[in-house]
Amino acid sequence: SATADDLGFVVGTFATAPPTIVSSDGASTTVTQYARQSFMVPLEYQNNQTIQFVVNAEMATVSDTTATIDVEVYEADKAGGIGSDLCTTVATTINSATAADKTFTINGAGLSPGDWLDIRMTVAITDGATGSGVTAQINNTEIQCDVRG
């Protein structure tokens, strides 16, 4: 489950309910939580092409104020260095009980096959007075890019 500033990972039940990422209950409060992953740009990637990070998300109960998701993407070199944010898409609403894809564009200029990306999702919920269950659910994420071959 989610704690402090970390989104939670729900394992689900095999063959019944897939794994998901969830927030804490944001009812009558403000919650900002994060999940992070690394991704290696595929060896077949076409240099300098746009990459998209797609998040399928929904709310268990819609907030009476706002619920958004944002993605930050940094190139990480093998020596531990970090570049600047490559994501050109701003935070977008997920304040709906219907699951929907949210696409974040990653500037591929300067990216090459084998580069490592450090990706952080931020879910921010502000709610005034909803009873309970104002939680975000990330159903899945995927990375789309142009490849050779």
- pLDDT at position 149, please? 75
pLDDT band at 56 (very low <50, low <70, confident <90, very high): very high
- The pTM of the full predicted model, rounded to 2 decimals, is 0.93
Give the tokens for residue 66.
Answer: 């706002």
- Closest by CA to 134, choosing from 78, 94, 77, is 94
Give the tokens for residue 50.
Answer: 């746009």
- pLDDT at position 78, please? 72
pLDDT band at 104 (very low <50, low <70, confident <90, very high): very high
